[in-house]
Amino acid sequence: MDAQAEPLKVAVLAGGRSSEHEVSLSSGAAVRDGLLAGGHTVVWIEIGRDGAWRLEGGPLSVTPGGGLLGVDVAFPVLHGPFGEDGTVQGLLETLDVAYAGAGVAASAVCLDKVLFKELMSAVGVPQVGYVGVRAERLDRARAEVLAEIAALGLPVFVKPAHLGSSVGIAKVSAPEEILGALEQAFAHDGLVIVEAMAAGVEVECAVLGSLSEERAQSGADAIASEPGEIVLSGEWYDYEAKYAPGGMELRIPAGISASARERVRALAVRTFLACGCDGLARVDFFVDGERVIVNELNTMPGFTPTSVYAKLAAASGIPYPRLVDRLCRLARERHEQRRAQRN
């Protein structure tokens, strides 16, 4: 914790209703430990798979406008639907409590992979070809949908539109596999995205919002980390590669040219700002020589000290306790600014 920053009382929200429940608990525990190491007080709120909020094992009720257990800031370390999609952010807004990370609109847009890509298209950010497919449209116009997917070429990746951690994703290398992959993804989500395969290496970049005094000095609304390269032991970046020991290696700095590196960092900040993000995000890229394209943006990536985001921040000079402290300070600044605007 910076010497001039006062200790805070922070509510850490972890768990949630999505299939990423266990990942969230791991991330939340790490955030809790980082805050404690920085001298803060932590209130642990666990959200069950049933959506119920629990404090010390008992049910927790909240009142609109009543804050949250007297905390200075909430840190919703939640992944996927019902936590990273604007729902919990909206609840925290109604409670009138500061909270770390993206707001309602940015959370909702960025968790919807199709809507995110449509926004990137509108602002001219380079990305892979894609097709968004709703289950009812596939039933109604199957030949048309399959023709759109065929135009992407092979292989393609079929993904639920609102999940992270590579849950429900399939790599498809033959036309006869498309329908099965779509049905598998529809088991998780009524909206599916099909993406063309991109050449090159996978590179990830952490973005961190700027505090008011930093913006006044530099004019930069956000800063980008040193990019890191994902080196896989398997064929592609699936769930096992992300979470199994030895599934992937993060190389910092990424093995790309200096010009591609700066392009990654600039596009990471541009994407962050275009989505209206706050606090933090991890932006993922494919880099092929000098060609850099955006894959996706994650508003609340895995957040253990060994997760990619924290490693990228550490490599850029921001150790874990200082990182979580900074995110709380950013949250409080945003909350105070919005209160002033309402008044």
Q: CATH number for the domain including 210?
A: 3.30.470.20
Give the model confidence (pLDDT) of 83-136 as tens digits: 999 999 999 999 999 999 999 999 999 999 999 999 999 999 999 999 999 999
Same domain, 114 and 256: yes
**243 catalytic per annotation:** yes
Confidence of residue 339 (pLDDT cuts 50, 70, 90): confident
Task: Respond yes or no: is residue 302 known to be catalytic.
Answer: yes
Q: Which residues face 250 on adjacent strands? A: 230
Lowest mean pLDDT among 11-15, 123-127, 185-189, 307-311: 185-189
Q: Given the residues 107, 225, 295, 298, select the one marked as catalytic.
A: 298
Of 19, 308, 263, the C-alpha closest to 165 is: 19
| 343 vs 159 pLDDT, higher one | 159
Kindly state whether residues 213 and 233 are assigned to the same domain.
yes
- The catalytically annotated residue of 229, 284, 325, 333 is 284
In this prediction, residue 1 carries a pLDDT of 40
pLDDT at 239 over 60: no
Sheet order of strands, 41-47 included:
58-59, 53-55, 41-47, 9-15, 73-76
Indicate the number of domains in the chain. Answer: 3
Among 79-93, 186-200, 243-257, the least confident range: 243-257
In contact, 284 and 268? CB cutoff 8 Å: no
Please give the share of the chain, as a percent, with pLDDT higher than 90: 87
Candidate list 183, 215, 243, 338, residue with the active-site label: 243
Condensed to tens digits (0 to 9), the pLDDT of residues 36-57 reads 999 999 999 999 999 999 999 9
The single residue of 19, 27, 165, 307 carrying the catalytic annotation is: 165
Cα–Cα distance measured from residue 308 to residue 251, given in angstroms and rounded to the nearest whole number: 10
Q: Residue 170 is part of which domain span?
A: 130-196
Are 76 and 144 found together in one domain?
no
Statement: the pTM of the whole predicted model exceeds 0.85: yes
pLDDT (average), residues 3-12: 83
Q: Do 36 and 166 reside in the same domain of the chain?
A: no
- The catalytic residue among 85, 189, 296, 333 is 296
- Of 135-144, 165-174, 264-273, the poorest mean pLDDT is in 165-174
What is the rounded CA–CA span in Å between residue 315 and residue 225?
8
**Domain CATH for 165:** 3.30.1490.20
Q: Does residue 241 have a pLDDT over 70?
A: no
pLDDT at 4 over 50: no
Based on the residue annotation, tell me whether 165 is a catalytic residue of this protein.
yes
Q: Is residue 134 part of a domain?
A: yes
- 295 belongs to the catalytic site: no
Is 231 inside any structural domain? yes
Query: Three-state secondary structure along the chain?
Result: CCCCCCCCEEEEEEECCCCCHHHHHHHHHHHHHHHHHCCCEEEEEEECCCCCEEECCEECCCCCCCCCCCCCEEEECCCCCCCCCCHHHHHHHHHCCCECCCCHHHHHHHHCHHHHHHHHHHHCCCECCEEEEEHHHHHHCHHHHHHHHHCCCCCEEEEECCCCCCCCCEEECCHHHHHHHHHHHHCCCCEEEEEECCCCEEEEEEEEECCHHHHHHHCCCEEECCCEEEEECCCCCCHHHHHCCCCEEEECCCCCCHHHHHHHHHHHHHHHHHCCCCCEEEEEEEEECCEEEEEEEECCCCCCCCCHHHHHHHHCCCCHHHHHHHHHHHHHHHHHHHHHHHC
- Does any domain span residue 94? yes
Q: Would you say 14 and 24 are in contact if contact means Cβ atoms under 8 Å apart?
A: yes
- Residue 22 predicted with pLDDT over 60: yes
What number is the average pLDDT over the span 298-303? 95
- Is residue 189 domain-shared with residue 225, that is, in the same domain? no
> Is 298 an active-site residue?
yes
| Catalytic-labelled residue, pool 17, 261, 282, 322 | 282
Task: Give the tens place of pLDDT for each residue, 198-229.
Answer: 999 999 999 999 999 999 999 999 999 999 99
Catalytic-role residue among 19, 302, 307, 329: 302
Q: Answer whether residue 15 is part of any domain.
A: yes
Pick the catalytic residue from 15, 16, 20, 333. Answer: 20
Reply yes or no on whether 309 is catalytic.
no
Please give the order of strands across the beta sheet that includes 156-160.
Answer: 130-134, 191-196, 156-160, 170-172
User: Are 142 and 160 part of one and the same domain?
Assistant: yes
Q: Is 332 inside a domain boundary?
A: no
Quick one: pLDDT band at residue 3, thresholds 50, 70, 90?
very low
Whether residue 68 sits in one domain with residue 18: yes
* Spatial separation of the C-alpha atoms in residues 169 and 211, rounded to whole Å: 37
Task: Among 150, 167, 196, give the residue marking a domain's end.
Answer: 196
Confidence band for 19, pLDDT divided at 50, 70 and 90: confident
pLDDT confidence of residue 2: 45
Q: Quick one: pLDDT at residue 326? A: 97
* Tokens of residue 211, six digits: 């505090």
Q: Say what the pLDDT of residue 258 is.
A: 98
